[in-house]
Amino acid sequence: MLSSVSLVRLALLLSLLVRAEAIWPFKEKRFKDEAFINAGSLGLEGISGRVIGVGDWDGDQKLDLYTLNGDKKTVTINLWDKDKFKFTAAHTLTLSSTISNIIPGDYDHDGHLDLLVMYVQEEDGGWWGSKNDKLGMEVYLGGAEDGGFQKKAWKLDSALPTQPIVFDADSSLRPSLLGLAPSDDTTEGLLKTWLNNATGFTLGATPLIRPEQACTLAHPHSSAFIDIDGDCLPDLVLHCATPKSTARSIQIWLNKGKSGFELSRSYDLPRGSGPVSFGDLNRDGSIDIIFPTCAQTSKSTGIGTECNLNIAYNRQIPICSTEGSQTDKEGKLSCRGWGELCTADEGFEFSFDPSDPHLTSIPFSTLLADKTDTETTGGILLHPPNQPDIPLPIRVGDYNVDGFPDLLLTVHTNTKGGVLGTKEINQVKVLVNVPCSKNVPGCEGRSMRGKRGFKVRSGKAWDALDGITDAEGASWMDIDDDGSLDILVQRSGSQSGERVTFIQNNIYHDAFFLKAQVLNGACEGKCELSQGGKSYNPLGVSYSGATYKFTVLDTEGHRVAQQVAQLPQTGYHSLHNPYAYFGLGRTNNYVEKLFIGTSLPQGSHSTYLESIIPNSQIIINPPYPVSPDDEQENPEPKNKDDVPSSPPSKDRTQAPVKARSTEWKSQLYLKPGDWVPWVGVAVFSTTIILGFVVLGLNEREKKEDEKERRRKLHAINFQAL
């Protein structure tokens, strides 16, 4: 039997061990293998539908997911719980109509994320039972006391089934909509703008300078709000359809500030073109266009056969070796200075001619070539089976943070022969962006110097991804905000019953990353309440269309440029993250200048930050433009105690104060790496060693001083004798 004293000592020892474990910096890793790891459904085991949206609903800088149930009438907001490492269902929204799409955004500009819901508008057409083919839209406002939705919603004018996209129509940083509205004059509808005035939407004319030149949007389409000419102002890229034809084209409307958008380029896409994606694939500081082409596509299965991967490179003036821009003898811009990246190049050009070297077209048969003795055929999954209104674009993301974005897509393979006989599967593949060399797809017949190709990786590190054979789509996302791009795989459930599986990226890469997020200027810092109470962070209200451009020095001292867009597309379950993620590659330096662009009026639409530390996250809050409506709503306060506030809301107990951001503000959050505790140990150990050295030298100095003092005491003063 232990004595009471022994028990007390044992309890004290255990408490000390627990405290030591709590402060021990070397935590046990959740995922230990250096590979892509199947993390399971992470709390989404019970869903019967699909993930249709991504956003930070509660403003905690963690990604939350929006799921649509099997009958397509209920949206569930699943919040990320970092401690439990899974998603937890928090709020639901149920409609009586079939939901087509949702777009998270701050529509009333109060710093809370809201939800725009698009649904099939079914109206009784009489005893014939006919129904009008329209798209209903409503905005459900966030910021309720329980963290969910307010009771009152905004109802918008109907649109055609072709889904509108989010863009900034009036340089107000408020999300407006551009799409096709029903018209009595034409069955294709008219291109209109749903203008957001922060209290609702009004249907009106578009800000296009010559709207008669606008095309008819395809259904589904891949239109985007993204900077194309390099001036850091987001432009409009319209994905068009030719009436009564399967032909597709794109129109590029350049942002001219207060004047509106001007048509600059029109291109016919190759026959059989699928969804369009955007990214800077060759790391030259301009946005390229990526899309598949297939000879045939089955509407029932969604499988495209005899497909090619196509990349139309954006040809713009190069980056100078100097900080300032340079001109030629005629005064034309010959190169952008690396300190003046937000300079427009009106001569930008794309080519969609297969014979042009600036269009790379790679047959998927070469990318997915099977080296075994089996016969493998197949194609790309362009949409889930029997759901042609949900396109599956090629996703762009830099999983290995080398600065060259990789591609993510779902492929269908039909394998004949071998032990298993005939087998049809849908798998998610990562096309890794690699330098051109011999036998690299995309490098045939081209000068390999400085060119890029793509390879499909395989091996033990990829087994978790290759093991999923019932995929119905995939997208990039950083699950736990650990600085690596993971993969969300949507599934049919035929293989294991799971509808969603997360693949954790646990592969170590000797390179750096950067994450950036532009807010909408709704609040300056935290959002305060007009009558006191708890403030809240507006960190979930990302701005659609923001642009980032920067240069970085590689390990050889070469300066390379890069451009990344934030939320360029919002239609048809686009699943873009609310921030921009870009790899920096291997570098031994800071990011020299990071340029940030928005759709604010020209001259004030961009800013830059200097000497950004890699492996960090930047939050940028732009200045809120004051309009005449805002001035009438919020007159100048007569004294410091007379604080202007927004109009009172019936659904809120307190209205948020409109303390708008008046200048560009930024916050930097460092992402601690696995090496940080070791650096702390090294610094602590060095400090201890140097401390002992100082104490030793100090003690030695004291002894020497004591000896010197004793000598003086025993010295004889001969003058006194």
CA pair distance 529, 642, nearest whole angstrom: 14
The predicted structure's pLDDT at residue 651? 46
Cβ proximity of 462 and 408 under 8 Å? no
* Residue 365, H or E segment: helix 364-367
Mean of the per-residue pLDDT values of the chain: 85
DSSP state of 622: P
Check whether 419 has a pLDDT greater than 70: no
Per-residue CA distances from 95 to 104, 115, 124, 135 (Å) = 17, 13, 17, 14
Plot region of 496 (φ>0 → left; ψ -120 to 50 → alpha; else → beta): alpha
CA pair distance 4, 526, nearest whole angstrom: 54
Rounded to 10 degrees, what is the CA torsion of 156, 157, 162, 163? -10
174-180 contacts, C-beta under 8 A, 24 or more apart: 174/107, 174/109, 174/198, 174/520, 175/103, 175/105, 175/106, 175/107, 175/544, 176/201, 177/137, 177/201, 178/206, 178/223, 178/236, 179/217, 180/216, 180/217
Residue type, 514: L
Cα dihedral sign for 69, 74, 75, 76? negative
Q: Predicted confidence band at 442 (pLDDT cuts at 50, 70, 90)?
A: confident
The predicted structure's pLDDT at residue 46? 86
CA pair distance 368, 360, nearest whole angstrom: 17
CA pair distance 715, 595, nearest whole angstrom: 75
Domain boundaries, the chain: 289-310+358-509, 512-626+655-679
The predicted structure's pLDDT at residue 663? 86
The predicted structure's pLDDT at residue 377? 59
Check whether 665 has a pLDDT greater than 50: yes
Per residue in 595-644, pLDDT (tens digit) is 999 999 888 899 999 989 988 999 999 998 765 455 444 444 333 343 33
Q: Count the neighbouring beta carbons within 10 Å of the beta carbon of residue 506.
A: 20
Least reliable range by pLDDT among 46-55, 214-223, 527-536 = 527-536
Cα dihedral sign for 650, 655, 661, 665? negative
Q: Predicted confidence band at 557 (pLDDT cuts at 50, 70, 90)?
A: confident
**In which residue are the tokens 């009004």 written?**
202
CA pair distance 311, 334, nearest whole angstrom: 25
Tokens of 124: 């009784």
pLDDT more than 90, % of the chain? 56
Check whether 594 has a pLDDT greater than 70: yes
CA pair distance 272, 693, nearest whole angstrom: 75
Q: Predicted confidence band at 184 (pLDDT cuts at 50, 70, 90)?
A: confident
Q: What angle do CA 389, 149, 200 make, to 5 degrees?
A: 75
Check whether 674 has a pLDDT greater than 70: no
Least reliable range by pLDDT among 227-231, 263-267, 702-706 = 702-706
Q: Predicted confidence band at 172 (pLDDT cuts at 50, 70, 90)?
A: very high
The string of DSSP letters for 454-484 reads EEE--SGGGHHHHT--BEEEEEEE-TTSSSS
The predicted structure's pLDDT at residue 526? 85
Of 255, 77, 35, give the one whose Cα is nearest residue 167: 255
Q: Provide CB contacts within 8 A for 503, sequence distance 6+.
A: 36, 37, 38, 39, 428, 464, 465, 486, 487, 488, 489
Per-residue CA distances from 87 to 51, 81, 613, 650 (Å) = 12, 6, 31, 32
**In which residue are the tokens 């725009």 written?**
116
Q: Predicted confidence band at 243 (pLDDT cuts at 50, 70, 90)?
A: confident
Q: Count the neighbouring beta carbons within 10 Å of the beta carbon of residue 481.
A: 17
pTM above 0.75, yes or no: yes
The predicted structure's pLDDT at residue 422? 64
Q: Return the higher-pLDDT residue of 336 and 371.
A: 336
Q: Return the higher-pLDDT residue of 647 and 209.
A: 209
Q: Predicted confidence band at 4 (pLDDT cuts at 50, 70, 90)?
A: low
The predicted structure's pLDDT at residue 417? 52
Check whether 375 has a pLDDT greater than 80: no
The predicted structure's pLDDT at residue 13? 53
Of 566, 536, 561, 565, give the one whose Cα is nearest residue 550: 561
The predicted structure's pLDDT at residue 482? 85
User: Quick check: bond before 270 cis, omega within 30?
Assistant: no
The predicted structure's pLDDT at residue 357? 83
* Backbone angles phi and psi of 6, in degrees to 5: -65, -40
Q: Which residues pair with 241 in a beta bridge?
A: 248
Per residue in 74-93, pLDDT (tens digit) is 999 999 999 999 999 999 99
Q: Which of 20-24, 444-448, 553-557 has the highest mean pLDDT?
A: 553-557
Of 73, 342, 337, 136, give the one whose Cα is nearest residue 230: 342
Cα dihedral sign for 553, 557, 559, 560? negative
